[in-house]
Each structure stands twice: as structure tokens, then as C-alpha cells.
């Protein structure tokens, strides 16, 4: 396993994402992922599966401190008071006293960032999360939080895959001792059709998904949280630590980025950064 170290905390660079997994499928998926070797599990309040994740972790036989657990506060609970209450609910569902990383899921402009961050920091100070961060924030929004408000943020979780350049976000997180967590790292399976990825996969005897995840993890301060419902794909995604990519191969995959590469942009999304 590759690790990213932030504030003395070692974060497994490859995680298991649980978006759209619920009930028995989610609980069994998380349990199987842990059995395979995953030690970074990502969930969120809006996924409605925190109880399933908690059930799997509590019964997996692995000590809680060995698992890096992330959840995210939904947009309707970012106010001071509501945020803390929502975290208490999340912890109860997750059957744990703390999460390793707590994120604001999407930027909410109706509530001052200062209020949101104050509540997030209070949760951290009380030990209910070890690290705090954001998700889907632009560079300007990160600047407001990190520079204007002086908040120590660990990560920005954003969509990132070969079709979408995140250079502005990457440059910012690296300059401020943060890391980028890539969600939808396989572009919902579309990396299977990426020319450069397919060619490298064929040459190395790997799948396009494995090449893509290796490409992500070989970038400085980048973690990835692919979702996989089947054991076959969980094992495939985890089997990426026995090879590396050349500089030319990395560049070829970067060159797959395109202006319309973003796949996830709901109506409440911010005005995204454009790649330099």
C-alpha cells in the first residue's frame, strides 16, 4: 500500500468508495474490501449507508485504529449546531467514537464559511474527527478557508480521472500540505475506452482500471477511492502495487484530459476551475 502523510497521519492512498452501495450489498462490500486489504473506507451522510459501513467495520476483526474512515456532512447540516448534531448521528451509525476525516461535502454559500469551519474545527477539537477537509471546493474557495480563515484543511475530495485535468486544485493542495482525494477515478468505466490507457494496459498486462489507479497514486499527494460492488473488481483495483509507470506513460495519460471531461456537475456545483 502507498501512503500519504499529512500532519503525522498516514493515509492509505487507495480507498474503497461506497457511493450508491446500501444495505446488505454495502455491508458485505466493505467487509470484503477490508478482508482483501483495504484500510481506507469512504462514506457520506447523503449515501444513507453509514450504518451499513459501521456494521461491517465493527464486525471485521480489524482494530478500529487500523482503518482510515471518512464521512461527509451534507449541505443541509453545515450550520453551527446542525453540523455537530449531524456528526453525532453519523458516529452513532458508524458505531465509532471518531472518524479519521470529516469533510464538508459541497460548498454551501448561504452559510458563511467561517461558521461552517468553526463548527468543523469544534468537532475536531473534541476528538470526534482527527482531520477535517472539504469536497468539491474550487481554488478560490480553498483560499478563503485556508488563507483567509486560517483553517488547517487536510484534503479536497474532487472528481479526478484521465479525462479531467485538476491541475489548479493539485497545485494548490500541494502548496499547502494537503492532498487531493479522487472520486470517480475510473470515470464510471469510461477509462476502458481511453486510447493511451488501453495501450499501456495491453503492454503491461494490466487492465485499464489498474493503469488509471496506478497513474493517480503515482502523482504527488493524490489518493483515490474507487467503488467496486464485485469481489473481482475489488481485487483488481487493489492489485496495483506491483508495477509502476514511466514518465512518458504518465504524460500520455495526462494528455487524455479534455475540456468536457467533467462528468459530475449538479445544479448546486460551484463555478469550476479551468485547467491552466
State the catalytic residues.
Answer: 47
DSSP 260: T
Over its C-alpha atoms, the chain yields an Rg (Å, rounded) of: 18
Which residues, 6 or more positions from 166, have their beta carbon under 8 angstroms from its beta carbon? 158, 159, 160, 180, 273, 275
Of 9, 7, 16, 8, residue with least CA distance to 223: 16
User: Residue 130 — left, alpha, or beta (φ > 0 → left; ψ -120 to 50 → alpha)?
Assistant: alpha
Locus of grid cell 493539485: 170
Q: Which neighbouring-strand residues pair with 131? A: 101
Locus of grid cell 482500471: 209
Which residues, 6 or more positions from 125, have their beta carbon under 8 angstroms from its beta carbon? none
CA atoms within 13 A on the CB side of 13: 20
Helix, strand, coil content of the chain in percent (nearest 5): 45, 20, 40
CA atoms within 13 A on the CB side of 214: 23
Q: Distance between CA 26 and CA 164 in Å, rounded?
A: 28
Residue 75 grid cell: 449541505
Which residues, 6 or more positions from 260, have their beta carbon under 8 angstroms from its beta carbon? none
Q: At what angle do helices 208-217 and 195-204 cross, to 10 degrees?
A: 100
Amino acid at each position: 500500500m502507498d501512503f500519504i502523510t499529512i500532519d503525522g497521519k498516514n493515509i492509505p492512498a487507495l480507498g474503497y468508495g461506497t457511493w450508491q452501495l446500501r444495505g446488505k450489498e454495502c455491508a458485505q462490500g466493505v467487509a470484503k474490501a477490508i478482508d482483501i486489504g483495504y484500510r481506507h473506507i469512504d462514506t457520506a451522510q447523503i449515501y444513507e449507508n453509514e450504518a451499513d459501513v459501521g456494521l461491517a467495520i465493527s464486525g471485521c476483526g480489524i482494530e478500529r485504529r487500523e482503518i482510515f474512515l471518512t464521512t461527509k456532512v451534507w449541505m443541509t447540516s453545515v450550520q453551527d449546531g446542525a453540523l455537530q448534531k449531524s456528526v453525532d448521528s453519523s458516529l452513532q451509525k458508524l458505531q465509532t467514537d471518531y472518524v479519521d476525516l470529516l469533510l464538508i461535502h459541497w460548498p454551501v454559500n448561504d452559510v458563511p464559511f467561517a461558521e461552517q469551519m468553526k463548527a468543523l474545527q469544534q468537532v475536531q477539537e473534541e476528538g470526534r474527527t482527527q482531520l477535517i477537509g472539504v469536497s468539491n471546493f474550487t481554488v478560490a474557495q480553498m483560499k478563503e478557508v485556508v488563507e483567509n480563515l486560517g483553517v488547517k484543511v487536510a484534503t479536497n475530495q474532487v472528481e479526478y480521472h484521465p479525462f479531467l485535468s485538476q491541475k489548479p486544485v493539485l497545485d494548490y493542495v500541494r502548496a499547502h500540505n494537503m492532498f487531493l482525494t479522487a472520486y470517480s477515478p475510473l470515470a464510471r468505466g469510461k477509462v476502458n475506452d481511453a486510447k493511451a490507457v488501453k495501450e499501456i494496459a495491453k503492454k503491461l498486462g494490466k487492465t485499464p482500471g489498474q493503469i488509471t489507479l496506478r497513474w493517480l497514486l503515482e502523482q504527488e499527494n493524490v489518493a483515490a477511492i474507487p467503488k467496486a460492488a464485485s469481489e473481482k473488481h475489488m481485487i483488481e483495483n487493489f492489485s496495483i502495487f506491483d508495477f509502476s509507470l514511466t514518465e512518458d506513460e504518465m504524460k500520455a495519460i495526462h494528455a487524455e484530459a479534455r475540456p468536457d471531461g467533467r462528468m459530475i456537475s449538479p445544479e448546486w456545483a460551484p463555478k469550476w476551475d479551468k485547467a491552466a
